Chains A and B, each alone.
Chain A
Amino acid sequence: MKHMELVETIMKCNRCAACHDVCPTYKISGDEFSVARGRLRLLRMGLENQINLDAEPELERFVNECLLCKACEVNCPSNVPTTQIISDIRARHTAKKGLPLPKRFLYRGFFSNPRRLNLARKLARLYQKSGAQWLIKQAGIMKESNNLMPDMPNFSVRDNLPFVLNEMPEAKHKVAYFLGCSINQFFSNVGIATIKVLQANDCAVIVPELHCCGAPHQSAGDLEEYKRLARYNLDKLSELDVEAIIVDCATCGAILKEYVELFEEETEYREKAVKIKNLLADISSYLLQLGYSHGEKEIACTVTYHDPCHSVRGLKVSDASREILKNIPGISFVEMREADMCCGGAGSYGIFHPDISRKILQRKMNNYQGTGASILVTTCPACMMQLKYGMRTYDISGQVKHLVEILAESYGI
């Protein structure tokens, strides 16, 4: 947004405080500078030159502490697009000062580069298996990233493709699967399950070679890199002849959808983005739309569901995932309190804001324990990382699974 547009958008906030009711950072702190209303006030003062928007470390901290979970936005009677505003200000800060070194290292260095990310997984696995992790843990350094790191699989999804993908020339449907970085590298079981479930429902699957969706870069305000990645993906995706583009990562899905707004002023890419948006489908909604076959294998356990922010408020999917869970034979579904509240994962938020992230996570885990469920199901790898971390930290004997993992299990595949 342009300067004046930003000011006018912020002015729509009539300070009713409806955001208090849903903002995770406010719920755990009770501080007015940790909620949309307070953040917006500071930004407005900055934009109106009452304070220096670019040189107030506290202001920058409060802006960066936003999870971008969109909860305030959907609850706002005046429809103030707080996530968009915060993202714009972060982009402004990044454009002026550059990315802080750790973020630059992590996002541009790894997420922007599939080969390096692949190498990182291998090194991380080596690190976990060799005993080096144990050593470093004892030394107490790299605590947050250590704790958050999932158990690294031996092979990525892409490594596995030759063994998983079937030639299905007679298939009724032809779809592309958008394989996100985190699923590919850290949760290869999920990606493989997605492909198998799609194939079991008579879908021929192709898995195009793409770049990162750009979510980490967008959240850090690295607009330039975000656009570069988006353009690449749009070029590749728009060449495909498929009836749908399937996502099993809520974040990738929500970001792909946002490409339309990203290229508001570039007709060519905007058109491509609109086309992709129309083809985009999250795995749950797509299966329901197909009239998918229900699994036959009984899975006798109690499960609950955590709504990823990017699913419930980004893709606007929440009922579909629950419906699929409830259809699995043997499953008893219990709703969790505040199921749609952010888990504090928010991409790499936990690494950069460990204290806030942990308090939000604790609330989530308490709500989970209140259900008595043995499996906590969700549809986003970043949430999975955070929730698994929660299980370990609070010594909870439950499992975290992606919806497609449990669905594939009921298929016996």
Chain B
Amino acid sequence: MLNKSLVNSLKQIVGSENVVTGRIPLFTYSYDASLFPGRPDVVVFPTTTEMVCALFHFAAEQGLNVTPRGAGTCLSGGAVASEGGIVISMNKMNRIIDINQVNRTILVEAGVINKSIQAAAEPFGLMFAPDPASLNVSTIGGNIAENAGGIRGVKYGCTKDHVLGLEVVIPSGEVVKTGQLLSISDAQIDLSYFLCGSEGTLGIVTKALLALTPINPEVVTMTAVFNDLGDAGDCVADIIARGVTPTTMEIMDNTLIKAVEDYAKLGLPKDAEALLLLEVDGFSSELKTQVPSIIEAFQKNRAKNYSIAGNEQERQALWKARRSANGALGKLKPSMVVQDVVVPRDRLAAMLRNVSALAKKYGIIIAQLAHAGDGNLHPHLLYDHRVPQEAEVIEHVCDEIFKEALAQGGTLSGEHGIGLEKVKYMPLAFSQESISYMKQLKNAFDPESHFNPGKLLP
């Protein structure tokens, strides 16, 4: 708890309605979408960049830790104040400042919700390509901090591929502009790319200039069923190798198919080992050559059968299985850990098989969902938190999954970030030299290590 005079100083900076110090309300800022707790001493809601600067000066004077927060949807513990201090919640700094149809750009404050950007862009036939599953609620500031991806990631990339420039307040309280917000010229050291994915350890993004992408006129949605999980993985690699880049390639394994079918009764084949949901977009002339090529890949990789949506209604029906995944899994066990490893596409089949083998070896339920197109696997490990042994086993299996991903030439996180969750695995993924280099960079921004301490770097 902060003493009264400190709280008053904060109230002077952001206004008394934008400071939360009550014991009870603070409990509601002590979590994010991960399992990691962290109780702040105070939560503040700045509404201007100047307020953020003043808050940083205040925090530096008082030696307080600072944890940035958006909507609190982080899956790796990035938004919790695990070492106390101030939570700076950016969700009330949420204006869309400008949208430029000709340049296809949008300038927004950090607290704007991804969905609001989509809604602002859509009337111009444009979209913001990154579409994390949390897009209806997560803020662009959080998307940038975690370098969020999404279902369209295989074709359109992650958040960092669509950031043109940033306004960021660094721990010293100075405002720094990067990329096109600094100058239209490329003759600069562009920090934008480097700040994306830094998980709030280097400062707080206050504004972002983002690139918008035209919405393609045609889309074809298809699903294929496989008798072998590895075949589905090989099929995905094969499709990309043919030069076709779908917007979406999602693999669901047998555990997930069965759970979804029991839950939503969609008529899915419960004996199938894998279901691949795939979507391609483009002009109709492009699709004319892409779709037959994909069908060839289905056949070559032993797909049992496939279907193509003929209209919007059928398209929604095919998507329904994917969308029901979360609810379906909640029925099986009360708790769940979602992992987020990435492997090279040609190792996808091996990784999927090996994760299934781990589930068998330890006698637990792992439902596999993969953004397969970019080699990003999301094994869902189900357990009952009230049974201590189960939680222990889960933790051990997570270790094994990370080791396996690294052994396949992969890495720790596709889009959820390192946060608190994976910080202990960093020395396994990176050499001592790389980590010490990253630490030097961190040190240049935040020598006192007050910004999101305990996250990202070991």
Contacts and interface: CB of A to CB of B under 8 A. Distances in A.
A17 B27 contact: no
Nearest to B115: A21
B334 A17 contact: no
A16 B91 contact: no
B28 interface: yes
B137 A17 contact: yes
B31 A41 contact: yes
A33 B24 contact: yes
Nearest to A61: B24
B73 A16 contact: yes
Interface in B329-372: 330, 334-336
B91 A30 contact: yes
Nearest to A39: B28
Nearest to A58: B24
- How many of chain A's residues touch chain B, expressed as a range? 20 to 34
A356 to B, nearest CB: 14
B327 to A, nearest CB: 5
10 contacts: A15-B33, A15-B72, A16-B134, A18-B136, A31-B20, A33-B25, A56-B24, A58-B23, A77-B326, A77-B327
Nearest to B135: A21
A56 B306 CA distance: 57
A164 interface: no
B214 interface: no
Contact of B27 (A12, A16, A51): A51
Contacts of A16: 33, 73, 134, 326
B24 A42 contact: yes
Contacts of B31: 15, 41
Contacts of A299: none
Interface string B25-39: 101111111000000
Interface in B1-45: 20, 22-25, 27-33, 45
Interface in B43-82: 45, 71-73
Contacts of B315: none
Contacts of A17: 33, 71-73, 134, 137-138
Interface of A: 8, 11-12, 14-18, 20-21, 30-33, 37-38, 41-42, 45, 51, 56, 58-59, 62, 77-79
Given A17-B33, A58-B25, 20 more contacts: A8-B334, A12-B330, A14-B33, A16-B33, A16-B73, A17-B71, A17-B73, A18-B137, A20-B136, A20-B137, A30-B45, A32-B72, A33-B25, A38-B28, A41-B31, A42-B27, A51-B27, A58-B24, A77-B330, A79-B330
A51 B91 CA distance: 27
B270 interface: no
A179 B32 CA distance: 46
A409 B334 CA distance: 54
A138 B22 CA distance: 37
5 closest Cβ contacts across the A-B interface?
A38-B28, A77-B326, A58-B24, A20-B137, A32-B28
Nearest to A11: B334
A66 to B, nearest CB: 14
> Dominant SS at the A interface?
helix
> Dominant SS at the B interface?
loop
Contact of A78 (B23, B138, B330): B330
A38 B89 CA distance: 15
Interface string B317-330: 00000000011001
Contacts of A18: 136-137
B92 interface: yes
Interface in B140-164: none
Contacts of B137: 17-18, 20-21
B327 A79 contact: yes
A42 B28 contact: yes
A16 B30 CA distance: 14
A59 B20 CA distance: 14
B25 A14 contact: no
A29 to B, nearest CB: 9
A33 B26 CA distance: 8
Contacts of B385: 11
Most chain B CB atoms below 10 A, which of A18, A21, A32, A33: A32
Given A14-B330, A21-B136, A77-B326, A59 B24 contact: yes
B141 to A, nearest CB: 14
Contacts of A58: 22-25
Nearest to B75: A16
Nearest to B138: A17
A18 B137 CA distance: 7
A16 B74 CA distance: 9
A33 B336 CA distance: 24
A18 to B, nearest CB: 7
Contacts of A31: 20, 25
Contacts of B138: 17
A301 to B, nearest CB: 27
A77 B33 CA distance: 13
A79 B263 CA distance: 12
A58 B27 CA distance: 12
Contacts of B136: 18, 20-21
